[in-house]
Amino acid sequence: MNSYETDRLILKPAEVQDADFFLELYNMPSFIQYIGDRNLRTKEDAENYITNRFIPQIEKLGFGNYVVILKEDNTKIGAVGIFEREGLDVLDIGFSFLEKYEGKGYAYESANKLKEVVATDFGVHKISAITTKDNFSSQKLIERLGLKFQKMVTIPEDVVELMYYEN
């Protein structure tokens, strides 16, 4: 699977070697609040999550979850991906960034690049996004990516009603 670049960022496919990074990212209080607790408590949990969730989708679709890296110093700052998600008929774009890198345009830059890549290289022109009612920064980013609010949804094994967007 390919890596992709923007002016400031590298989007590298998630690998088992990124377990420490995902352990940190997925245990941020804001990630747990807005996206959910993925129950990653150890490096081994994160390795298994990558092996069982990310890699099979990458192998099936040719794309999936990417680690977002700053070009200037090779720092891992977040993740962006387009996923098959149970309960959704349309592929779903998602993103999360370490808090100190939020508000700098990295999420838009990386998500917009990935949206372009899946359209150009894989023929995927319709994508969706879901977010909680109180995650206003995510809602703004989703709308900036050209997706429009459609309805409220609940995905399997979740009790929270989510805002559903599509382009």
Task: Report if residue 160 sits inside a domain.
Answer: no
What integer pLDDT is reported at residue 97 of this predicted model? 97
Task: Report if residue 149 sits inside a domain.
Answer: no
pLDDT per position as a tens digit, 130-139: 999 999 999 9
What is the C-alpha to C-alpha distance for residues 17 and 95, in angstroms, rounded to an integer?
Answer: 19
What integer pLDDT is reported at residue 80 of this predicted model? 98
Q: Is 16 exposed, middle or buried (0-12, 13-18, 19+ CB in 10 A)?
A: middle
pLDDT cut 90: percent of the chain above it: 92
Task: Report if residue 163 sits inside a domain.
Answer: no
Task: Report if residue 38 sits inside a domain.
Answer: yes
Q: What is the pTM of this model?
A: 0.95
Task: Report if residue 49 sits inside a domain.
Answer: yes
Q: Is residue 154 pLDDT above 90, yes or no?
A: yes
pLDDT per position as a tens digit, 37-79: 899 999 999 999 999 999 999 999 999 999 999 999 999 999 9
Q: What is the mean pLDDT of residues 89-102?
A: 96
Q: What is the mean pLDDT of residues 89-106?
A: 96
Task: Report if residue 132 sits inside a domain.
Answer: no
80, 68 contact by CB (below 8 A):
yes
Q: Which domain holds residue 68?
A: 4-122
Bridge partners of 131, per DSSP, are: 163
Band (pLDDT 50/70/90 cuts) for residue 159 is confident
Task: Report if residue 155 sits inside a domain.
Answer: no
Please, which residues have CB within 8 angstroms of residue 107's CB and are 6 or more apart in sequence? Answer: 78, 80, 95, 97, 141
What is the C-alpha to C-alpha distance for residues 49 and 15, in angstroms, rounded to an integer?
Answer: 10
> Nearest 5°: CA angle at 13, between 11 and 16?
135
Q: Which two tokens stand for residue 104?
A: 């700098």
What is the C-alpha to C-alpha distance for residues 110 and 34, in angstroms, rounded to an integer?
Answer: 19
Band (pLDDT 50/70/90 cuts) for residue 23 is very high
How many independent structural domains does the chain possess? 1
Phi, psi of 93 (to 5 degrees): -95, 140
Q: Looking at residue 52, which CATH number applies to its domain? A: 3.40.630.30
Please, which residues have CB within 8 angstroms of residue 34's CB and are 6 or more apart in sequence? Answer: 131, 132, 134, 135, 138
